[in-house]
Structure 1
Amino acid sequence: MGTLWYGGQIYTLEAEYEKVEAVYVENGMIEAVGDYQTLLAKFKHKVEKKINLQGNTMIPGLVDSHLHLIGHGEKLLRLDFSDMNSSEEILQAIQRKIPFLNKNEWIIGEGWNENQLTDRKIIHRTELDLIAPDHPVLLKRICRHAVIVNSKALALAGITSDTLDPSDGVIVRDHDGTPTGYLLDGAQELIFQVTPNVSADYLKNALKTSIEDCYEKGLVGGHSEDLAYYGDLEKTLTTFEEVVNHNRKFRTNLLAHHSIIDELHSKNRNLGLFVELGAMKIFADGALGGRTALLSSQYKDDPETNGVAIHAKQELVGLVRKARSYKMEVAIHVIGDLAFEWALDAITICPPQPGQNDRLIHAQILREDLIERMIGLPIVLDIQPRFVASDFPWILDRIDEKKIKYCYAWKTLLEKGIACAGGSDAPIEPVDPLLGIHAAVTRKSMYDNITYYPEQCLSVFEAVELFTKGSAVVIHKENERGIIKEGYVADFTVFNKDIFTIPHEEILTTKVSMTVVDNTVMYENISRQKQEA
């Protein structure tokens, strides 16, 4: 017995702006698409349920190709600074939290970004000491490549003026050599090692909270990297297995950080129908916000550095070789152009097996020669269009404008035939895919509403493809996901507006009417429920 979907704009994405009147589904798979009356007549003895879209717009289910699901849930549950506009506002939020805590309990907050603060200030440890002397404080920057901590947290981690910078990070210091509390990339690990371990219940609550929010934003799945950050691999795997497969259908592909690969492959785990293991994750560099993305030239606003290499070049080759020993693809975090170059070198030296492809994540700062070199290689770029909105104009202070032509150059990449998938990197950026689609189409900064490099704007169709076909291609699911077509999974995102025809600015006010996974309605807008009634 099956379900007949009809009564709205149904875009298949098989061809540009192609629409059908109806979709017939059995056992979570699309059996046929076409005219409503034709399908009704053909399957009249099998149609058990008819769902009227009531004029809403259905597209293939949106999938975020790069996020941190548990981390996104943590951001929703913790202090969230991502919408705060001054350092004083952040300090006040911390102060309001203190009366509800036990003595010595950690205060952990997420999402501060000095570039959106009116005072553009990086808070000093002494300011945190004044308001929270009895609590270790940990404030994670929006990029998660930098943190600010207070003196109590530094003391717990044993960080003093005599502590040397790790090879993959920086302990920022005052003029006298005293740590300021601002730690970049690998230096963060010194703090993370002394933060309390989280419970299984905490992880489950964070993941449930995250997935529920993803449903509300129209996401049917995501490629998530969480496995190495919560102290116990088995506990984290069990969290995904139990939460996703028990009443929360969500197409989940898990990237695995290189540090836990040996342990992961020592297990023989069946994670259920909706969870699968993906590529091995490697960080090649840091982030632009803290000037730790690895560039081929010095930073425009800090000529003393060109960023941080998380691994020496030969170490990076060794990690790719390790993945190949397990017949795995790699997913390499590369923001700077030198990091990207090293990643290409490593993949060239240790190519994937026939039929496999690696993914290079972010790919923000590129050069023409790197783009040309990629053409024809088994590589998919995992891009985050929302970074255009959040990084401009301050990125122009970091990167010489003469070199910006091939940075954030999504249109150029697609025109060169380079496969791209679309994600958010939540909790770094908001998980809402409509924000990513809008950013890809308009390239407008959230700070000044200026369109930056309009020649790189995508069409709405191209932007939606990133989160549908692109997310399917990168994990070899292009023959079963990302299109509304016979033989494909019945995963749908339904909007209250036709995002392909409305003015681009209306994309931001579009609402999700339904999110459907495996032909199961996982989220339905209350206003639509009232219409049905």
Structure 2
Amino acid sequence: MGRLWFNGAIYTMEAENRTVEAVYTENGKVVDAGSAQKLRSEHAPLEEMDLQGASMYPGFQDSHLHMLGLGETLLSLDFSAMESAAKMKQALQEKKNQLEPGQWLTGEGWNENNFTDRKIFHRWELDEIAGDSPVLLTRICRHAALVNSKALHLAGITEDTPDPPGGIIVRDEQGRPTGYLLDTAVDLVKQVMPPVRDEELREALQSAVQEMLRKGLTGGHTEDLNYYGGFKRTFQVFEDLINHKSLKFRTNLLVHHEVLEDMHYHGFRFGPVNDSLSFGAVKIFADGALGARTALLQKPYNDAPETCGVTVTSKEDMESIVKRARDKGMPAAVHVIGDAALEYTVDVLEKNPPPEGTRDRLIHGQVTPADLIGRLQQMNVAFDLQPRFVVSDFPWVQERLGEERLHCSFAWKTLMDEGLHCAGSSDAPIEPVSPLEGIHAAVARRKPGVSHSGWLPEEKLSRFEAVQLYTRGSAKAVSAEEEYGIIAPGFRADFTILENDIFQVPLDEIVTTAVKAVVVDDTLQYGTLTT
């Protein structure tokens, strides 16, 4: 009654170099694995899927991203690949010419560290470009944005406006807002923007899922429910599209703490909604990002000694939120980048352990001192890592942190060697959503085609360890390692099938390897296979 998958390199990921000749699947699960002849004889499959020499792996999953944000970026003005302020200005001028009078000019992904002059546009420069159009340009880290005078006026932000809790309105020497907003200060402008339309949300989610499938992903853990007009409206978009009927795509929805009560009011609980869609941990932001100097550090920034960063959620507030999550039987997922934020997050989670059968999640964890690793080893937590941050953040991050802190930063190999659970992700749209780019970055710790030995080369992962991040690691992040992450009897029939064997090709060819097919629940969701 089932299918036989054969004629390729089938990596089970149970152990390094562990392969099987064929796999037999039925009703969405792996039933047996071994020789093709044996499986044909014992199971008499109704259909045979010829891999034609391709390589097959357990389905890759991105353990932390923003799917609606990814879709928005795919559909909007994207600055992420621009390497000069002049190109960014040109793109803004061209976009402005396409707008109706007074229409918002928006864009995503600018990064001054990619510009030779490190330029950050002032609101008056944006005024010249945009005229009567309000402007909101989101930085690559999504913890900062640029706005013009019109947007400041609509938001009621003046010289007298105080910084909101967890945010900063950057000002000039006369105390006037420059148009550069950090963390929660961005929300002051977002609150006065026109609400996104339902059809725009649907288009964004559809675009994101198709892009993720094209890149070889069978699922992702996403945080979107607090940003698009409320829980019910946003969740409905996910439920309508990812219904496990017309579309099968394993989607774990992190629940921002501000919509936790709404989720329960509407009758939803932690766990599965259907076989593709489930509610995950309660999301909390401890701090900001290194790029905007809002990640919370124990000592001042090396290149800005006047600041240690920003506390987005205080220790006291975090403990209150975590206790609410525990009352509802839910783990926590904490955005934490700086070592000071990690320390007080560990304090809170140690005192309030997760419900039995679940794990708390530490998203990013970019500065991880040895004393905190020792405490984390005694806790039930998983790290959601973004290997591609190494490619994007070096060398400028060395300026931020200084040599003293660098040895315990972006320390993926150390975390894994110390026995901590680690999952792989992109934080898309902040980084490219391709898991192959993440795998390459974890192994090479440099851009493809660059000849140096990699940033902090002692923290390089093996290819097996890197692939594990996106298979067993992503499963462990949601305490589902007995359901998926390896190819073995009883596990989900979710597969990522690649044209080349990424364990064998030259290292830089990992990122150019084509995705042949993506299978979810024993069902082809992308690509073609010969039967």
The count of aligned residue pairs is: 526
Moved more, 165-174 or 268-277: 268-277
Structure 2 matches for 1:478-497, cutoff 5 A?
Answer: 478-497=481-500
1:446 CA drift (Å): 7.4
The match for 2:175 among 174, 177, 182 is 177
Correspondent of 2:428 among 422, 426, 429: 426
Structure 2 residue ranges without an equivalent (≥5): none
The equivalent residue for 2:110 is 112
TM-score by length of 2: 0.97
Partner of 1:473: 476
2: distance between equivalents of 1:462 and 1:400? Answer: 28
1:190 aligned partner: 188
Whether the aligned pair in 1 keeps the contact of 2:449 and 2:508 (CA below 8 Å) is no
* 1:66–1:424 contact (8 Å) kept in structure 2: yes
| Partner residue in 2 for 1:266 | 265
Identify which range, 92-101 or 177-186, moves more after superposition: 92-101
CA-to-aligned-CA distance 1:335-355 (integer Å, 9 cap, x gap)? 000000010001112222233
Give the Cα–Cα distance (whole angstroms) in 1 for the partners of residues 316 and 267 of structure 2: 31
More displaced 10-residue stretch of structure 1: 266-275 or 60-69: 266-275
Secondary structure of the 2:439 match is helix
1:208 matched residue in structure 2 = 206
Which structure 1 residue ranges, 4+ long, deviate > 3 Å from structure 2? Answer: 445-450
Aligned to 1:381: 383
Match of 1:18 in 2: 18
Q: Which amino acid aligns with 1:10?
A: I
Worse-matched range after superposition: 125-134 or 136-145: 125-134
Q: Tell me which amino acid in the other structure corresponds to 1:523.
A: Y
Q: Contact 1:72 / 1:210 at 8 angstroms: preserved in 2?
A: yes
| Equivalent runs, 1:309-388 vs 2, <5 Å | 309-388=311-390
Match of 1:230 among 219, 228, 231: 228
CA shift in 2, pair 1:447/1:312, >3 Å: farther
Counterparts of 1:403 and 1:149, CA distance in 2: 33
Give the CA deviation at 1:394.
Answer: 0.4
SS of corresponding position for 1:100: coil
Q: Which moved more, 1:159-168 or 1:204-213?
A: 159-168
In the TM superposition, residue 376 of structure 1 has moved relative to its aligned partner by: 2.5
Measure, in 2, the Cα distance between the counterparts of 1:349 and 1:314. 12
Aligned equivalents of 2:350, 2:20: Cα separation in 1: 43
| 1:304/1:449 CA distance change after superposition, 3 Å | farther
Q: Distance in 2 between matches of 1:449 and 1:145?
A: 32
Deviations 1:192-243 (A, max 9, x none): 1011111211111100000000000000000000000001211111100011
Give the Cα separation in 2 of the matches to 1:2 and 1:252. 25
1:122-158 deviations in Å (ceiling 9; x for gaps): 1111111111112111100000000001111111001
Choose from 404, 407, 410 the match for 2:406. 404
Secondary structure of 2:97's aligned partner: helix
Matched-pair contact (CA < 8 Å) for 1:185–1:286: yes
Distance 2:230 2:459 in 1: 43
Query: In the alignment, which residue of structure 2 is the partner of 1:218?
Result: 216
Whole-angstrom CA distance in 2 between matches of 1:404 and 1:49: 53
Alignment check: 8 A CA contact 1:393 1:445 kept: no
Identify the residue that residue 28 of structure 1 maps to in structure 2. 28
Q: Secondary structure at the match of 2:478?
A: coil
Partner SS, residue 318 of structure 1: helix
Distance 1:371 1:449, change over 3 A: farther
Q: Deviation per CA, 1:257-309, whole angstroms, max 9, x where unpaired?
A: 11111111111248432110000000000000010000000000000000000
SS in 2 for 1:79: coil
Find the counterpart in structure 1 of residue 504 from structure 2. 501
Mark the CA change 1:221 to 1:108 in structure 2 (over 3 Å): closer, same or farther: same
Residue in 1 that maps onto 2:84: 86
Deviation at 1:445, TM superposition (A): 5.0
Deviation at 1:519, TM superposition (A): 1.3
- Aligned-partner Cα distance in 2 for 1:393–1:97: 31
Amino acid at match of 1:149: V
Deviations 1:444-473 (A, max 9, x none): 157976411111100000000010001111
